[in-house]
Structure 1
């Protein structure tokens, strides 16, 4: 039920190819932590350490991989899942799914602990104080019940909301206790998605000209092509149950979105959810779109003023990374511009 997305169904440590020293360190840390879970030190190991007066490090209750988008954190998390399960029963969830589950945090943690020894929590992202409170309660309860946490995030624990908003109860957990309880490994590197072959295309420029290029591609598409203006897609996202909308979009061979424009965080969150779920879908449609500006300019963390808005903008950066993985970006000049000779 709680398993890695289809695109990570065969992820292993052997198929992870580190390109930076921190990625190599993250791979070693993930492998070592996995070995400790599968083969915890026994009495003889502890006795030998004591007789040799080797100071024992306090046991960590989990591993937290943090770093920019596209650096392989989810691959490593899925590799740990596959190496551990089913010897140690594991649950693999995206944090957004965890927050949508209706149970009280302590009840949910107890239910997970009844079935699983390890929780693999992907892309921990907190743009809501209520979700942050929920996460802290879940983590504390899981630790008390003996469930190990393996997690990924783009955000270091000291930069979550409570540290800035001033919730003392959670600030102490995030700034003082978190690194004592969990092994935190930073994973740095270039966004690998920028180097992938792009199955789709995006036209960026004056709206009429960019839309005309998109329409031409749509009319010449030989497969099952679906066309939405961005306003139509947002209307559907508002009034259609998300799973049904996702099935409708994934049923297309190609999806054409005209005139994408982000006018606020609500719109950004709706698009984020659609793109992220399509990206992780086992059979996503090819994506084509038009917009006046490139994806990285749609919502910038530095241009938003509220803490929650900045959190959403930082989360949206992963979505724009995925868009560039799905689409080749093509600038479109204005109709009256003459190409340089």
Structure 2
């Protein structure tokens, strides 16, 4: 190669990364160690939450959660350390041992849940924070008994986006939380569905009414009203860019990934959702070309998990093709998983807005 060619090669921008080339392995101990509020919520606190003055339930929720956190100080409710595990019969809790934040998209439920985690007077190793999907994935990685033993040592378990999608999850989570409450673990959860309504529209919830009612008994609901803060007073989501702009931006942005959207959807089917967080490790931005409608429900649900992980990690998303509000069919948006899909649209729209600064003017 000539000197000129070598110089040109050295000065050429490095090729962007690719999500489709990544197949991360996540050991079980990492799943446990990473059960903390995600980077987006590292610094949130109750006093950084800005209640809407027109929605008094938001202020009421802050007060209730602050009181709840203060009540979690002191010794563990069922004793200390592993001695609890061998106790013949832990003391039965009196009344609900948890709080349940119910409200629409973007009213700050995750902000409040993470603030509760930060405000609870316990070492980080004694409190856990994760999404519902991450919790079920942990059980899959550790096994039920080991998960009970590991989380049973905690003072607080925070579960974000609590949703029941199938009968197996209903029975599993009902049993798990029952064991944890017996061990003295306090619970806090967020969802767009009241605990007594979990599972509606997804499967024959009436057949699992006992489990659902058992879950509901663990929580005291706190309703949080309001509109999506991500779009409150902000302009509409930016229109998709051209393939050329997305590609050029990916090459010009250090740490960006570049993938064709249909191929990415195919790749997600080969990676367990518990690894989607690791899939995004060290990314500065995600660039996607040829965004199209999601073809089926299984693919759509995988995309929801990826959108959650990108949002948690504050990774901007630049895309060409269709706008994100046209990802899911009318049938999907009117079905049992509609709340997940609307959450994904809301979060991807926010990340698309964050990506505007990446595009060369």
The TM-score normalised by the length of structure 2 is 0.71
The equivalent position to 2:51 in structure 1, one of 3, 9, 18, is 18
Matched residue, 1:287: 317
Deviation per residue, 1:268-321 (Å, 9 max, x gap): 12222222112212xx543111233x4334326x7249xxx9333321221111
- Please say if residues 106 and 141 of structure 1, whose CA atoms lie closer than 8 Å, have aligned partners that are also in contact: no
The CA distance in 2 between the partners of 1:267 and 1:298, in whole Å, is 11
The CA distance in 2 between the partners of 1:164 and 1:94, in whole Å, is 19
Deviation per residue, 1:155-178 (Å, 9 max, x gap): 112222279845567413534x55
Q: Cα gap change, 1:276/1:168 in structure 2, threshold over 3 Å: closer, same or farther?
A: closer
Q: Cα gap change, 1:182/1:244 in structure 2, threshold over 3 Å: closer, same or farther?
A: closer
Q: Cα gap change, 1:240/1:95 in structure 2, threshold over 3 Å: closer, same or farther?
A: closer
The CA distance in 2 between the partners of 1:67 and 1:18, in whole Å, is 14
Matched residue, 1:141: 179
The CA distance in 1 between the partners of 2:37 and 2:189, in whole Å, is 13
The equivalent position to 2:137 in structure 1, one of 50, 75, 100, is 100
- Please say if residues 64 and 182 of structure 1, whose CA atoms lie closer than 8 Å, have aligned partners that are also in contact: yes
The CA distance in 2 between the partners of 1:223 and 1:164, in whole Å, is 41
- The answer to whether 1:254 aligns with 2:285 is yes
The equivalent position to 1:156 in structure 2, one of 157, 181, 194, is 194
Following TM superposition, by how much is the alpha carbon of 1:82 offset from its aligned partner in structure 2, in angstroms?
A: 1.2
Following TM superposition, by how much is the alpha carbon of 1:179 offset from its aligned partner in structure 2, in angstroms?
A: 4.9
What pairs up with 1:160-179 in 2 under 5 angstroms? 160-161=198-199, 165-166=203-204, 170-175=208-213, 178-179=215-216
Matched residue, 2:21: none
- The answer to whether 1:62 aligns with 2:98 is yes
Matched residue, 1:4: 37
Following TM superposition, by how much is the alpha carbon of 1:219 offset from its aligned partner in structure 2, in angstroms?
A: 2.0
* SS of residue paired to 2:257: strand
Following TM superposition, by how much is the alpha carbon of 1:189 offset from its aligned partner in structure 2, in angstroms?
A: 1.0
Matched residue, 2:340: 315
- Please say if residues 73 and 122 of structure 2, whose CA atoms lie closer than 8 Å, have aligned partners that are also in contact: no
* SS of residue paired to 2:252: coil
Unmatched segments (≥5 aa) in structure 2: 1-32, 76-93, 355-361
The TM-score normalised by the length of structure 1 is 0.75
The CA distance in 2 between the partners of 1:245 and 1:59, in whole Å, is 37
* SS of residue paired to 1:149: strand
Q: Cα gap change, 1:296/1:127 in structure 2, threshold over 3 Å: closer, same or farther?
A: farther
Q: Cα gap change, 1:248/1:181 in structure 2, threshold over 3 Å: closer, same or farther?
A: closer
Following TM superposition, by how much is the alpha carbon of 1:244 offset from its aligned partner in structure 2, in angstroms?
A: 7.3
The CA distance in 1 between the partners of 2:344 and 2:202, in whole Å, is 24
Unmatched segments (≥5 aa) in structure 1: 41-57, 205-209, 330-341
Q: Cα gap change, 1:265/1:327 in structure 2, threshold over 3 Å: closer, same or farther?
A: same
- The answer to whether 1:227 aligns with 2:263 is no
The CA distance in 1 between the partners of 2:296 and 2:103, in whole Å, is 26
The CA distance in 1 between the partners of 2:246 and 2:133, in whole Å, is 34
The CA distance in 2 between the partners of 1:85 and 1:35, in whole Å, is 7
Q: Cα gap change, 1:130/1:194 in structure 2, threshold over 3 Å: closer, same or farther?
A: same
- Please say if residues 202 and 337 of structure 2, whose CA atoms lie closer than 8 Å, have aligned partners that are also in contact: no
The CA distance in 2 between the partners of 1:136 and 1:326, in whole Å, is 34
Following TM superposition, by how much is the alpha carbon of 1:65 offset from its aligned partner in structure 2, in angstroms?
A: 0.7
Following TM superposition, by how much is the alpha carbon of 1:239 offset from its aligned partner in structure 2, in angstroms?
A: 3.3
The CA distance in 1 between the partners of 2:149 and 2:274, in whole Å, is 27
The CA distance in 2 between the partners of 1:216 and 1:96, in whole Å, is 34
CA RMSD of aligned residues (A): 3.2
